Chain A
Amino acid sequence: MEHTITHGPSFALGTLELTSRESVTVEAGSLVGMSDGLRVRTRIGGNRGGGFTGVFRFFTALVRKLLGGRTLFVNTCSAREGATGKLLVAPSLAGDIVHLELDGDRGLVVQGGSYLASGEGVAVKTRFGGLKGLFSSEGTFWVRCGGKGDIWISAYGAVHEIEVDGSAEVDTGHVVAFDDSLDFQVRGSSSLKAALLTGEGLTAHFRGRGRVLIQSRNLGGTLHWITPKLYE
């Protein structure tokens, strides 16, 4: 699949070119436009499974939606035999888009809000962020991407890569994605009081070897800054 990323780093736009029978999975809200003739199917929570898990996914998506989090509805767009098509994708916030290739060995865990699109060889599964994730301001949930193929992720601001060898700590609001070779644990601030006073969010602790991609801005931080000013 041919692709280009233009207008980065501030307002990146991804252009994906599909050829005969190729397909791509796009987070529903990230679809900007497309040429005609592409077949579109909407699904919840990833591109694998159905039946009972499908029903389960529907309810978790609904719960998440009611709690103000982002739902992961995906559109699977495919080009008909002998036809070609073009797709435009963009995130909601200002920032960049990066393209990664999964080699089949190492998977990638992506923050729900950063997942944009993936190629057909990539299996996408939503992973519940747990109770802590549900109640955090970021409404964190994670998408596990495995298999082989292309994946596009977006950042609020720029994308910065850090290599972890040992252990590292990252504010969850800044995490875009990380290699699943890393052990990962979300911890709250040391005390509730500290969390309330400093406004610091949850921290992701990584152990092992692998990449962590971070975004240079954090929506939780922006909101934290702007909220008190609304009533001044």
Chain B
Amino acid sequence: MQFTKAHDPAHALAICHLEPGDAVLAESGALVTRDAHLEVESTAPRDQGVKGLLKKIGRKMLAEETLVRSLYVAGEAPGEVTFAPRLPGDILIHEMTGGELVIQQSAYLASSREVAIETRWGGFRGLFGQGRVFWIRASGTGQVALNAFGAVEEIDVDGTFIIDTGYIIAFEPSLSFDIKRVGSWFFSVFSDEGPACRFKGKGKLYIQTRNPDEFGTLVGGKLPPRNS
């Protein structure tokens, strides 16, 4: 399975080339085209036991998580599937080589079946302000396609780097982080500034050059109120 991209950076499209026996997992709603002979399977996250149920409730409450992803499987013949994100911007194709990558939920587009995808609730520390954060943990070997609102900027963190949470796409788990506010709490009530993540350690951090929440708040705030 191989991802390529076209029409980047402003309006990138992910093209997935499947060999016989290959499969690709994708965010529901991301599909643009698929060869008709490919099989489609729906997958819901496997949450088991009480802990799983609580996780499920947590996700529902926050109404952010898409519970269903689709798996596109090539049987005897090779095939091609294409995926597109909702907003304009670039796509990052990341090659996993046995390590792990932590992905902000809304940046996930698609991934090879060989890559294990696990959704984790960001917990309360990620809940302040607009910063509802769900993290997806990807592990294994294979490619992952992530979408950016705007361009993708790669930052080599060595020491400490602070970033507004709305810009994060993904980071290597060799980095640890805590939530911090830039400037004073008092002013941030008025200044629309979201919480920031302070990363520590050594590793790669991928960011997008526009913040989808900030864009939504700016445009949404200028639209007339909903009637119903």
A-B interaction: yes
Contact (Cβ within 8 A) A231 B10 = no
Point out the residues of chain A lying under 8 angstroms from B188, CB to CB. Answer: 28, 42
Contact (Cβ within 8 A) A7 B151 = yes
Nearest A residue to B164 by beta-carbon distance?
A32
Contact (Cβ within 8 A) B167 A32 = yes
User: Any chain B CB within 8 A of the CB of A130?
Assistant: no
Nearest B residue to A8 by beta-carbon distance?
B151
Contact mask for chain B residues 186-223; partner A; CB cutoff 8 A; 1 contact, 0 none: 01101111001010000000010111001100110111
User: Any chain B CB within 8 A of the CB of A61?
Assistant: yes
Contact (Cβ within 8 A) B223 A73 = no
Contact (Cβ within 8 A) A75 B183 = yes
Contact mask for chain A residues 115-157; partner B; CB cutoff 8 A; 1 contact, 0 none: 0000000000000000000000100000000000000000000
Point out the residues of chain A lying under 8 angstroms from B222, CB to CB. Answer: 68, 137, 219, 223
Nearest B residue to A93 by beta-carbon distance?
B215
Contact (Cβ within 8 A) B183 A36 = no
8 Å CB contacts to B: which residues of A64-110? 65, 68, 71, 73, 75, 88, 90, 92-94
Contact (Cβ within 8 A) A11 B150 = yes
Complex Cα distance A92/B209, Å?
A: 9
Contact (Cβ within 8 A) A92 B196 = no
Point out the residues of chain A lying under 8 angstroms from B183, CB to CB. Answer: 28, 40-42, 75
User: Any chain A CB within 8 A of the CB of B48?
Assistant: no
Point out the residues of chain B lying under 8 angstroms from A65, CB to CB. Answer: 190
Contact (Cβ within 8 A) B150 A94 = yes
Point out the residues of chain B lying under 8 angstroms from A94, CB to CB. Answer: 88, 150, 210
Contact (Cβ within 8 A) B163 A61 = no
User: Any chain B CB within 8 A of the CB of A230?
Assistant: yes
Contact (Cβ within 8 A) B211 A31 = no
Nearest A residue to B88 by beta-carbon distance?
A94
Point out the residues of chain B lying under 8 angstroms from A28, CB to CB. Answer: 183, 187-188, 191-193
User: Any chain A CB within 8 A of the CB of B9?
Assistant: yes
Contact (Cβ within 8 A) A73 B190 = yes
Given contacts A13-B153, A32-B164, contact A71 B191 (CB under 8 A): yes
Contact mask for chain A residues 1-31; partner B; CB cutoff 8 A; 1 contact, 0 none: 0000011001111000000000000001101
Point out the residues of chain A lying under 8 angstroms from B191, CB to CB. Answer: 28-29, 42, 71, 73
Point out the residues of chain A lying under 8 angstroms from B193, CB to CB. Answer: 28-29, 31, 73
Complex Cα distance A40/B180, Å?
A: 13
Contact mask for chain B residues 147-183; partner A; CB cutoff 8 A; 1 contact, 0 none: 0001101010001111110010000000000000011
Complex Cα distance A75/B153, Å?
A: 23
Point out the residues of chain A lying under 8 angstroms from B192, CB to CB. Answer: 28-29, 71
User: Any chain B CB within 8 A of the CB of A62?
Assistant: yes
User: Any chain A CB within 8 A of the CB of B224?
Assistant: yes
- Greatest chain A CB density within 10 A among B90, B164, B210 is at B210
Complex Cα distance A10/B10, Å?
A: 7
Contact (Cβ within 8 A) A226 B161 = no
Contact mask for chain B residues 121-149; partner A; CB cutoff 8 A; 1 contact, 0 none: 00000000000000000000000000000
Given contacts A35-B161, A36-B160, contact A7 B150 (CB under 8 A): yes
Task: Give B residues with C-beta under 8 Å from A.
Answer: 9-10, 88-90, 150-151, 153, 155, 159-164, 167, 182-184, 187-188, 190-193, 196, 198, 207, 209-211, 214-215, 218-219, 221-224, 227
**Nearest 5 A/B pairs, CB to CB:** A11-B150, A36-B160, A7-B151, A42-B183, A33-B163
Task: Give A residues with C-beta under 8 Å from B.
Answer: 6-7, 10-13, 28-29, 31-37, 40-44, 61-62, 65, 68, 71, 73, 75, 88, 90, 92-94, 137, 219, 222-223, 226-227, 230-231
Extra 19 A-B pairs, beta carbons < 8 Å, given A28-B183, A31-B164, A230-B223: A10-B150, A11-B10, A12-B209, A28-B187, A29-B191, A32-B163, A32-B207, A33-B163, A33-B196, A35-B161, A37-B160, A41-B183, A42-B183, A73-B193, A75-B183, A88-B153, A90-B211, A92-B214, A226-B223
* 5 cross-chain CB contacts under 8 A: A10-B150, A11-B10, A28-B193, A34-B182, A226-B223
